[in-house]
Chains A and B, each alone.
Chain A
């Protein structure tokens, strides 16, 4: 089994705790819990409010509320948004696919680009293109992703008009979608690549000094062959862990890029919800994102187990 029961239990525990956190937060925040649960954009009469209060169970003891909360989660009911006039779940799932369309290709491109360039960079430490690439990635690493977005948007969309600067409300033809997605995916990929690059490069630098590399040479293995056989498989292990841990970080970055490019994903959803203090949507997004982050961690563990035989042994 590629992943141990102990790890799965840990993930479930994390899920449980974070979801419970989500339950607690609106109830300990200052202000009327009703507002905290429903958002600040609704107005009803006093009697209707009272009815709503008892319906939501705000009158009943905390434990009952907690149980009701979990019941709702299992029924896939995350509440209702007064601002958007929709149930939260369909609202989020509708938007989520656009975020994933941005995120997933970026993670893949970023992983491939960053890993390969980082490995080459670590192997040939002093070549000139190496230094330029390293400095470029370092700069990207240091920038808030939305800032890069703003700059590129300005240059490519406003000035040169190469790419459109709004989401994709137009027709769904493939070339249309690609045109709209090109810049955002470029930025997210660069962002993800910069992180992978740093780690991979460092990893290769460490592995390069190890004895099995010298021994490989002693066996008569030629230069390039050595790298891509022996070092790569070892060096890539920390990168895999990083990609998972980073998923949350990359996801957040994607949210900002969406806002800059006015794309129709979770980022703009959160932004709007934020502006109107629509707490149910905000909390719903938090839960869904948590699920995705935990899922990504799980995936990376499984991948790790497949590639590194030592990990399999330990479980």
Chain B
């Protein structure tokens, strides 16, 4: 059953330097209970997609397309209707836990807030639930943590707290935006474990956003590769890692340490003046003449969607 469907999403930002074309023409589906990894380099538009779904983009953003959740277009909803969905049905684990937590409120306050607001739970009951969740997230002293403040917590703890706050209402869709960014490998493993745990608890779907292929591989069923605001390839994770189709995907895998650490030549394009035609062509070893003129259409091969002339 399709839970979330993005159709032809296009997001541009007005900036003093020009129009930033953050997301070009994105379409994908998220099924119930499924985990989709969205991978791409920094600036490829990953967070923008996440924020579009939650509809928390800054005022200088212009959005086109449809984001269907249970067949309702999230982009057309009023702020009031959206507030019923955010946190409760779809929730976001933000990229920067240190800044996402309010410094002057206790952990307990921030964690019980969704419960109190969405489910009108009494504070005392909510605190018990929060403590329970913290315990399941491997906090040794949940009672102490509840009373503490963000500045008293380490980076890893803050990350877990953020995960906790985002799942406390058992949302159907969890969007995890770069949850392992900047963490050492031990913490990375731990966070992944937490996320898997959290998925299991309520059989939620997850949109896992990362630039790091390893955790993406570990946690996802489906994977989509994002480049300069377009999804170049998407399909089953297992198949993808066995045999990537798009030249960019190939380049990504080859750049991994265990595959040779070979970097993709060139740099990601400017989002204000993206290249003509296929956005990847300046860096592509297989580029043809037509690539400089036209962005290839999506083709489906072996159950995978690719946007490359090589497969037309």
Q: Is chain B in direct contact with chain A in the complex (CB below 8 A)?
A: yes
A contact residues vs B (CB 8 Å cutoff): 210-212, 214-223, 225, 230, 233-234, 237, 307-310, 313
- Beta-carbon nearest neighbor of A214 in chain B: B56
- With A309-B149, A310-B149 as known contacts, state yes or no: A234 contacts B117, CB within 8 Å: no
- What are 21 pairs between A and B in contact, CB < 8 Å? A210-B99, A211-B96, A214-B100, A215-B94, A215-B100, A217-B56, A218-B54, A218-B87, A221-B83, A221-B87, A221-B117, A222-B83, A225-B117, A230-B102, A230-B105, A233-B104, A234-B104, A237-B104, A309-B104, A309-B106, A310-B151
Q: B88 touching A220 by the CB < 8 A rule?
A: yes
Contacts of B151 in A (CB 8 A): 309-310, 313
- With A219-B114, A222-B79 as known contacts, state yes or no: A310 contacts B103, CB within 8 Å: yes
- Beta-carbon nearest neighbor of B169 in chain A: A220
Contacts of B92 in A (CB 8 A): 215, 218
Contacts of A211 in B (CB 8 A): 94, 96, 99-100
Give the residues from 42 to 96 in chain B that come closer than 8 angstroms, CB to CB, to chain A: 54, 56, 79-80, 82-88, 91-92, 94, 96
Q: A223 touching B103 by the CB < 8 A rule?
A: no
Q: Which of B85, B105, B114 has the most C-beta atoms of chain A within 10 angstroms of its own C-beta? A: B105
Number of interface residues of B (CB under 8 A): 32
Instruction: State whether the Cβ of B152 lies closer than 8 Å to any Cβ in chain A.
Output: yes
- Number of residue pairs spanning A and B whose beta carbons lie under 8 angstroms apart: 79
A304 to chain B, nearest CB (A): 11
Contacts of B56 in A (CB 8 A): 214, 217-218
Bound complex: CA of A211 vs CA of B85, how far in Å? Answer: 20
Known: A219-B91, A220-B84, A222-B79. 15 other contacts (CB 8 A): A211-B96, A212-B102, A218-B56, A219-B117, A220-B82, A220-B88, A220-B114, A223-B79, A230-B105, A233-B102, A234-B103, A237-B104, A309-B149, A310-B104, A313-B151
Contacts of A218 in B (CB 8 A): 54, 56, 86-87, 91-92, 94
Contacts of A220 in B (CB 8 A): 82-88, 114, 117-118
Q: Mark B149-162, 1 if CB is under 8 A from A, else 0.
A: 10110000000000
Contacts of B104 in A (CB 8 A): 233-234, 237, 307-310
Bound complex: CA of A30 vs CA of B20, how far in Å? Answer: 70
Bound complex: CA of A263 vs CA of B295, how far in Å? Answer: 81
B15 to chain A, nearest CB (A): 15
Contacts of A219 in B (CB 8 A): 86-87, 91, 113-114, 117, 165-166
Contacts of B54 in A (CB 8 A): 217-218
Bound complex: CA of A288 vs CA of B100, how far in Å? Answer: 46
Contacts of B106 in A (CB 8 A): 309
- With A230-B105, A309-B104, A310-B149 as known contacts, state yes or no: A221 contacts B113, CB within 8 Å: yes
Bound complex: CA of A103 vs CA of B38, how far in Å? Answer: 61
Contacts of A214 in B (CB 8 A): 56, 94, 100
Bound complex: CA of A219 vs CA of B88, how far in Å? Answer: 8
Q: B152 touching A313 by the CB < 8 A rule?
A: yes
Instruction: State whether the Cβ of B173 lies closer than 8 Å to any Cβ in chain A.
Output: no
Bound complex: CA of A310 vs CA of B148, how far in Å? Answer: 11
A92 to chain B, nearest CB (A): 40
Which 7 A-B pairs have CB atoms at the shortest separation, nearest pair first? A220-B87, A220-B86, A211-B99, A215-B100, A219-B87, A212-B102, A218-B92
A229 to chain B, nearest CB (A): 8
Q: A212 touching B84 by the CB < 8 A rule?
A: no
Bound complex: CA of A216 vs CA of B82, how far in Å? Answer: 13
Contacts of A217 in B (CB 8 A): 54, 56, 83, 86
Instruction: State whether the Cβ of B198 lies closer than 8 Å to any Cβ in chain A.
Output: no
Instruction: State whether the Cβ of B101 lies closer than 8 Å to any Cβ in chain A.
Output: yes
Q: Which of A210, A230, A309 has the most C-beta atoms of chain B within 10 angstroms of its own C-beta? A: A309
Bound complex: CA of A237 vs CA of B165, how far in Å? Answer: 26
Bound complex: CA of A210 vs CA of B166, how far in Å? Answer: 19
B148 to chain A, nearest CB (A): 9
Q: A216 touching B102 by the CB < 8 A rule?
A: yes
